[in-house]
Amino acid sequence: MLEPITSGVVFTTPPSLPRGRHVLSRDEVTAAQRERMLIAATELLAGVGYRGFGVREICSRAAVSRAAFYECFADKDACVYAAYDRFIAVFLHHLADSGAAGSDWPGCVRAFVTSYLGTLQRDLVAARAFQVEMDALGRAARERRRAALTDLARFVRDLRSERFPGTHEEVPFSAYLGAIHALRQSASDALDAGPEPDLSLLVDELSSWLCRMVDVTHPKEN
């Protein structure tokens, strides 16, 4: 049996659409159906893997018609990518909120790591779908992941520049990008290792060595 997403974290489960005559506009109906399809694709991706489902299974789980699906998405991949884009947007929003925490750079890094892992923990189904199963979509998915991780690395670098000026000039961008890749991989391994990981157990260790990875002892890029 597929595990459901946690509503209100990355996606919000819409209320059931009324049967028969109703006052909802076409746009409202389409938006609700689209959200249900994003949720269904996420749950299927997490539960059976990319090759284990298609448009038919998405429609069945979302309780929508194939016609409704193709009004929103060109194919299965388009639906999955749209769900992934939402996942990344939510991540960036939560991480931006964490940016004011911490009175020094190590404290700021800890707040970032705590927010990153905490967002995953709050919806393990979405986390497993997009941290573990997403790469099975192939080159296009990997390119999307690299772009998302680059955005996260740029966010951390810019946050340091704004909050702690004078502490970042000697650190190459590649150090931030490597740190984000390492954080993602550690979280992905934990998600892949068991159904109910406690990601908070990773905060202390990851915060410590991520700080070291972006320390000023790194050589400056030419």
The 10s digit of each residue's pLDDT in 69-117 is 999 999 999 999 999 999 999 988 888 888 777 889 899 999 999 999 9
Average pLDDT over residues 140-144: 91
pLDDT at 1 exceeding the cut of 90: no
- Locus of tokens 């650190």: 171
Average pLDDT, the chain: 91
What is the rounded distance in angstroms from the CA atom of residue 99 to the CA atom of residue 109?
Answer: 9
**Which residues lie closer than 8 Å to 171 by C-beta, 6 or more apart?**
157, 214, 215, 216, 218
Q: What is the pTM of this model?
A: 0.90
More confident call, 21 vs 43:
43
Average pLDDT over residues 174-184: 96
**Which residues lie closer than 8 Å to 111 by C-beta, 6 or more apart?**
98, 99, 101, 102
N-terminal to C-terminal alpha carbon distance within the chain = 53
Domain regions of the chain by residue span: 80-213
Average pLDDT over residues 195-212: 94
The whole-number pLDDT of residue 167 equals 78
Secondary structure of 68-107 as H, E, C letters: HHHHHCCCHHHHHHHHHHHHHHHHHHHHHHHCCCCCCHHH
Q: What is the dihedral of CA 107, 112, 116, 119, to 10 degrees?
A: 80
Confidence of residue 218 (pLDDT cuts 50, 70, 90): very low
User: What whole-number percentage of the chain has pLDDT above 70?
Assistant: 95
Contact 41, 80 (CB under 8 A): yes
pLDDT at 59 exceeding the cut of 60: yes
Return the CATH number of the domain spanning residue range 80-213: 1.10.357.10
